[in-house]
Amino acid sequence: MKERLRTELHQAMKNKDSLRTGTIRMMMAELTNKEKEGKPIEEPDVHKVFFGMLRKREEAIDEFTKAQRDDLAEKEKAEMEIIKEFLPKQMSEEEIRKETRMVIAQVGAKDMKSMGQVMGILTKKLTGRASGSVLSKIVKEELSQ
């Protein structure tokens, strides 16, 4: 992943794309910080870091929109699109629902008390292909039916 980031960084620098260059540098810095924690980072760890970056951008967009700073919100949206390029293709909501129903049936979950158990299995199963917030929303909807 780092090699791909380096290649993309060089390309962005050649193209004088300052937004892309800055975003990729931030991504590399986040990975370097994660590596400094001591243990080697695997592909799922990289995805977690990038999902964290996406979540921060989503929160910033909400705050900028509330403060009527659309220019900054647009910048954050553009950064999100760049980060998403480095994540695996995300599952559609319908695919996630299908997986959720299978896990609910497998566990025998009938109410919200089983949400933690269902989320634990789904999170491991769908790491990198679905964000936790989307998973949580869908599991709540399915368990409340």
CA–CA distance, 139 with 122 (Å, rounded to integer): 9
CA–CA distance, 40 with 20 (Å, rounded to integer): 26
Q: With contact defined as beta carbons under 8 Å apart, do 23 and 82 qualify?
A: yes
pLDDT digits (tens, 9 = 90+) for 58-101: 999 999 999 999 999 999 999 999 999 998 888 889 999 999 99
Superfamily of domain 2-84: Uncharacterised protein YqeY/AIM41, N-terminal domain (1.10.1510.10)
CA–CA distance, 87 with 121 (Å, rounded to integer): 21
Of 71, 69, 82, which is closest to residue 22 (Cα–Cα)?
82
Q: Decide if 2-84 and 93-143 have a common fold.
A: no
- Report the Cα 144 to chain-centroid distance in Å: 25
* Mean predicted lDDT score pLDDT of the chain: 90
Q: Which CATH number fits domain 93-143: 3.40.605.10, 1.10.3470.10, 1.10.10.410, 3.40.50.740?
A: 1.10.10.410
Instruction: Give the H/E segment covering residue 87.
Output: none
Of 117, 97, 96, 98, which is closest to residue 108 (Cα–Cα)?
117
Confidence of residue 112 (pLDDT cuts 50, 70, 90): confident
The residue to which tokens 């290649």 are assigned: 7
Q: What is the CA radius of gyration of the chain?
A: 18
CA–CA distance, 79 with 57 (Å, rounded to integer): 8
- For the record, the structure tokens of 115 come out as 């949400």
Q: What is the mean pLDDT of residues 41-62?
A: 89
Is 128 a residue whose pLDDT tops 80?
no
Confidence of residue 53 (pLDDT cuts 50, 70, 90): very high
> Where are the chain's structural domains?
2-84, 93-143
